[in-house]
Amino acid sequence: MVQLICSKCMKVHKTKQTTHCPICNAKKEHIYIFNNSDIFIRKEVPRIVEERKNLGLKGLVGDLQCVFINTEPFNWKNAIQELLQFTGLHHHESFQTNDKKICVLTQKDSADIIIQQRLEPEQKNPFVNFNQHPKSKKLPNNR
């Protein structure tokens, strides 16, 4: 059995045959092995760009300058490495203030991503009391 994705119906399914989509009966040229297929992703980009434009999503964030990501101290480097590995972002600068480590990742024509870690998370995080719920209490400084 192989896991496939159909670019016509956009469904993922497991099947033994790879000649057509068992859901919508699309021909082989619409069938891709579902494993982050670069061919599939490249083929879908123009359709998705057009779809986002038609839905009014292009430019939705306006003049967004940056996005902040707060991490636990032990996740800071891993978060940066993962964003560098899996996005088109580039390291712009890293620095430390009295209470934070900060890394700025950039990409032309895109909002900057600022990953920061509080040096004394429990004392400095003003939201720590709000992050004590079942899903957030293990990592109260990740946001």
Q: Any idea where the domains of the chain sit in the sequence?
A: 2-54, 66-131
| Average pLDDT estimate for 71-85 | 93
Q: Is the pLDDT of residue 35 over 80?
A: no
- Concatenating the DSSP letter of every residue in the chain gives -EEEEETTT--EEEES--SB-TTT--BGGGEEESS--HHHHHHHHHHHHHHHHHTT-TTTTTT--EEEEEE-GGGHHHHHHHHHHHSS-EEEEEEE-SSEEEEEEE-TTS-EEEEEEESSHHHH-TTGGGG-STTTTTSTT--
| Average pLDDT estimate for 76-100 | 94
| Mean residue pLDDT across the chain | 85
2-54, what's its fold?
Rubrerythrin, domain 2 (2.20.28)
pLDDT digits (tens, 9 = 90+) for 14-26: 888 778 888 888 8
66-131, what's its fold?
3.30.720
Q: What percent of the chain has pLDDT over 90?
A: 29
Instruction: Give the pLDDT score at 36.
Output: 65
